[in-house]
Structure 1
């Protein structure tokens, strides 16, 4: 595993940890729009792994896999920051949905139904569901959150995932934000609560959730996007 100079053997480590790169890429791609290619993330992730091998110092007291995971994820996030992976149209649609949800929550003092959101947007239920499908993959984060180009001074991902010293598996490190998210999920309609629980707590992808609930994957995509709009609306208050 180590060379005669006491450094990690690059080829051995690349072979051993390339499955880690693929695993991290597939985990990340499940929460990104379909326009992002998993092969692109794997490619930049391998670059991150190569850099991790070159920079790893056993004396730092950190396990290599932990160190490498941080570098790999960092490389993938840098790639996402450089590319506009969510179209302007999709971003506008997501914001339109969020604003409609916010207006209805203020007026109704409850979570609005799907048909009510559609009516607030001035469109048919079918057109609204088509809009939800178009913004498929938008998670609690999207481009403005990563780049900090929207209303926030600092990007959401930069705050919660971009620090090499932070645990890369912890998206919401701030306790207040974590509690707000838990509370927001509790206030979702019951079916959407189940979907978000399976997606975030159990790391199930949309296809797996669809199989459990006995509906189509496209329907889960719609409900997931709608749930995200509700959660983002609520989290903006914190």
Structure 2
């Protein structure tokens, strides 16, 4: 049996190895962590655009929504009226994390996804924290969005998704998100504003936004990694650059190099193992 035939059979039977999940949103976080690994394994060999690929991707999204709720909880002080927007924006971060995650990173998906989710939420606050003049088209879209949200909430008995709102309003999902963001453009708060609470006492809003920059701890590692990267062959350096700087998927890298995704995966794993061993020897 050739390697090409084996890969084809893996793709054909990948969906058969995926468990049926009746309600992914009800999967416990601990179970979601173990099941996610299985779904990511199959996502790597399934062809994009197929029903099996969409099933695996959508199940991953719904199973890991608890990560969005966990991350959104950090911003509870923003007020309950903004929590719905925070969760919706956090979902964008979750989807980006799923599309960019690969098992070859050898990190837990939760550790990889939370920074994406929190980063998307912080970007949302950065773009909407000040009262600004909102274009008329967004003012009108905001009003239409409120009506559509009320209609779908009444019809579905739950908060509608961005996709459902976009279909009802005949807009793209990006336009719906833009209208959501515009709704926050009318309010602003000072970062020095005092917040009184029984648990926290009197604190400033800025206390809930700023976080320690953990990336500073990586500076020493980057200095140790630089000479190891310089020793790599040109192709290996190019693959590392495309994967971790340009953030391309293995499939996209394979297209650039004119080889199979599995070959890229093997090259990447081999190169990362070499760099990891070099870092351990250096330290």
- The structure with the greater share of residues assigned to helix is 2
TM bin, normalised by shorter chain, reads: 0.3 to 0.5
TM-score for the superposition, normalised by structure 1: 0.41
TM-score for the superposition, normalised by structure 2: 0.35
Flag the structure with larger Rg: 2
Higher relative contact order (CA 8 A, sep 6+): 1
